[in-house]
Structure 1
Amino acid sequence: NLLLKILNIPKYVLLHSDRIQRVQYTEQEYREKQEQLADLQEKLKK
């Protein structure tokens, strides 16, 4: 259950920070952030 909570947090954060990130970052920087988060989630799954 703890792992589920850890995996759910990034999704929750993404939903609420999506608009902010789009404003703060250029498109390239935003894409890099998304890739970093994807990598983190992959590592958590293993």
Structure 2
Amino acid sequence: MKSVRLIVPALALLALTACETIQGAGRDMQSAGEAITTESQEVQSGL
């Protein structure tokens, strides 16, 4: 029973950390997409 008391909070902490990591990766991908969009618009306007 003691091991369950240790494992459950550890798993919860791991899940929260994973969510934050995935959220950060999503923000990075969004920023990269915005940069690509901006660059492509600049190239198209220069044609």
Q: What TM-score range do you get, normalising by the shorter chain?
A: 0.3 to 0.5
- The structure having more radius of gyration, on CA atoms, is 2
Q: TM-score, normalised by structure 1?
A: 0.46
Question: What is the TM-score when the length of structure 2 is the normalising length?
Answer: 0.45
